[in-house]
Homo-oligomer: A and B are copies of this chain.
Amino acid sequence: MSVLSEVLAANEVYSASFGDKANLPMPPKRRFAILTCMDARLDPAKFAGLAEGDAHVIRNAGGRASDDAIRSLVISYKLLGTREWFVIHHTDCGMETFTNEIIRNLLANSLETAKFDGQNWHDVGRGPGSRAGEYMEFLTINNLEQSVIDDVERIRSHPLVPNNIAIYGFIYDVKNGRLIEVPEANRIGRATT
Contact = CB atoms under 8 A, between A and B. Distances in A.
Contacts of A9: 49
A97 to B, nearest CB: 8
A168 to B, nearest CB: 6
With a 10 A CB-CB cut-off, give which of A4, A8, A21, A61 has the most chain B CB atoms. Answer: A61
A139 interface: yes
Interface in A112-143: 112-114, 116, 121, 130, 132-133, 136-139
A41 B68 contact: no
A138 B71 contact: yes
A182 interface: no
A159 B132 contact: yes
Interface residues of A, number: 96
B41 A94 contact: no
B18 A49 contact: no
A143 to B, nearest CB: 18
A80 B60 contact: no
Interface of A: 3-4, 6-11, 13-15, 18, 21-22, 24, 26-33, 38-43, 45-50, 52-61, 66-72, 74-81, 84, 86, 92, 94-95, 97-98, 103, 106-107, 111-114, 116, 121, 130, 132-133, 136-139, 158-162, 166, 168, 174-179
11 contacts: A3-B30, A7-B48, A7-B49, A10-B49, A11-B47, A21-B41, A22-B175, A29-B40, A67-B68, A68-B69, A71-B136
